[in-house]
Amino acid sequence: MTSRGTAVRRRISVAVGTALLLGACAPADHRGQAGDGTSPLPGRTAASSPTPSAGTDPMAGCPKSGVRIRATGSDAAMGLRALGLELVNCGDRPYQLNGYPVLRVLDEQRKPIILRVVNGAKAITSGFDQPPRPVTLEAGERATAVVLWRNLVTDSTVVATNGEYLRVAPAAGQPAEDVDPDGPIDVGNTGRIGVSAWKKADPSTPVPAQPARPPAPSAVPSSVSPPDSRL
């Protein structure tokens, strides 16, 4: 194994860990996708511009649900994609979480793409399969999660899948928000996308003003397990 390959895998682990730090229920896999699909999706915005769910003030324009969800940035290396998610309690009362974000991926015509959503990201990568734990967010507090997938084509007879939009709900049956995926959701022909459980964010971590590529620290955060040799 080359030193360059090791460095690239280390970079994706660092970037995902930073995405969690920037922001910071069913344990089995589930087929299909769920969420509040009643509201129309807005047009795609540039990755460097804030989306409606990622304003400069997370407390402004708080929806009836009392929470707001946005992306904190993405990274990619050796076909592994990682997108950080952040949920902010913008309401005035405690908000409870105990599980995984519920994802819906849509194509360029804003039609749902049927994917297997892997809770814990097993079979996609390691280090993100910690089970969900009860999380209580006071007003202004945040929780984070990471969406992971691979741009992998193993069968040339199967058309590769590219999602263009992402809709995220805090849990099944809860209102969803449209989140800028910071690029295509290019799952190849794997037919699956993974997501880690919600985790309470470190209150000392500043809220980013808009989605951006996470800076790479000099060492892998101790809270993030390095990927295994299969990456």
Element holding 169 (H helix, E strand): strand 165-169
Number of domains in the chain: 1
Q: Does residue 214 form part of some domain?
A: no
What pLDDT does residue 57 have? 53
Q: Does residue 136 form part of some domain?
A: yes
Q: Does residue 229 form part of some domain?
A: no
Nearest to 84 by CA among 128, 35, 133: 128
**Alpha helices (H) along the chain:** 3-23
Q: Does residue 196 form part of some domain?
A: yes
Q: Does residue 215 form part of some domain?
A: no
Model confidence pLDDT, tens digit, residues 199-227: 999 876 655 544 344 444 334 334 444 44
pTM above 0.75, yes or no: no
What pLDDT does residue 77 have? 74
What pLDDT does residue 91 have? 95
* Enclosing domain of residue 144: 3-200
Q: Does residue 28 form part of some domain?
A: yes
What pLDDT does residue 116 have? 93
Is residue 55 pLDDT above 80, yes or no?
no
Nearest to 202 by CA among 7, 17, 67, 5: 17
More confident residue, 218 or 85: 85
What pLDDT does residue 81 have? 93
What pLDDT does residue 137 have? 97
Helix, strand, or coil here: 98? coil
More confident residue, 177 or 38: 177
Q: Does residue 52 form part of some domain?
A: yes
CA distances from 212 to 49, 83, 85, 182 (A): 9, 10, 12, 9
Per DSSP, 23 falls in state H
Task: Report the percentage of the chain scoring pLDDT > 70.
Answer: 62
What pLDDT does residue 186 have? 93
